[in-house]
Each structure stands twice: as structure tokens, then as C-alpha cells.
Structure 1
Amino acid sequence: GAFNPNYAYANDNDFNEQAEWTVQAYQMMRDWGWVGPAFLWNLNFRVVADGTEKAQWGIVANDWSPLPVYSALASMPK
């Protein structure tokens, strides 16, 4: 969930939803057929800028342990 007050609307999103929806976004891009290469930009803002608006979108925790979204991305079909 969100921990920056500017993104309080995201408080009802948990780590499992982040994982599910991120993988779903990649699947949608693949299925559309017209999307080229795609990448996920935010790897480690929980490490380098914890508590900021960027941190809640990261895929590793502030101790570098993988969040569910990291594992979901690693195991999704490429």
C-alpha cells in the first residue's frame, strides 16, 4: 500500500495485486501485437528513496528482498 500521503488512493492495493496487475500488463502488451519492447523502470526506490512517492512502486523491499511482483515478473513467460 501507499505510504506517501500524495498517493493515499493506493492504500487498498496490496503486494499481491501489484504482482498480478504488473504481469497482466505485460500479457496485455504481448497479446496486442503492436507493442514493442517494454521494461519496468522502478527496481529499487524502496532502497534508495524509501518513503518517497516512487518507493511504493518498487519491486524489491528496502532490504533488497524480492517483493511478490519481482518473483511474478521473474517467473512469467517471456
Structure 2
Amino acid sequence: MYAHRMETTIDKTGAVTLDALPFTPGDEVEIIILKRETAGVSGQPSLSFARIAEAFRGKIKQAPADLSTNPVYFEGFGE
């Protein structure tokens, strides 16, 4: 499979125009559109807390499923 990468902008009508592609008329292609991450104040791509926290999902093996359902976990809290 031959891959070709290009960047463009969605126009006011919501359309994308792809010009000067390195394929011949009649070629079957698959198109995947990815929204680019915009750079934040630091110049780095902005990430949500949820995306960053994915790396830690499942790392704690011995923890209660939900602390809020068991009042024992709140004993002494706020005292």
C-alpha cells in the first residue's frame, strides 16, 4: 500500500479539496482524516487530563472499585 500525507484546511462549506495527488485516475484509495492538535501557550500540542491519565489506567491493582459507596473509607475524613 502506498501512503501519501498532506495537510489542508476544511473550507467554509465543510469540504476538503485534494489536488495534485500522486495517483492515477481510477485508483481505489482509502482516506482517513485526522484533526491536528493545536499548539498551546507552550508551543506543545495541547492534551487533556484524560488522555495523559490513560497511561496510568490499570496500574493500581489493589484498590476499591469506588470509594464513594463504602462509608468506612470516609471515617475520620475532615476531622
TM-score between the two structures when normalised by the length of structure 1? 0.18
Structure with greater helix share of residues: 1
TM-score between the two structures when normalised by the length of structure 2? 0.18
The structure whose Rg is larger is 2
Q: Which one scores higher on RCO, CA 8 angstroms, separation ≥ 6?
A: 1
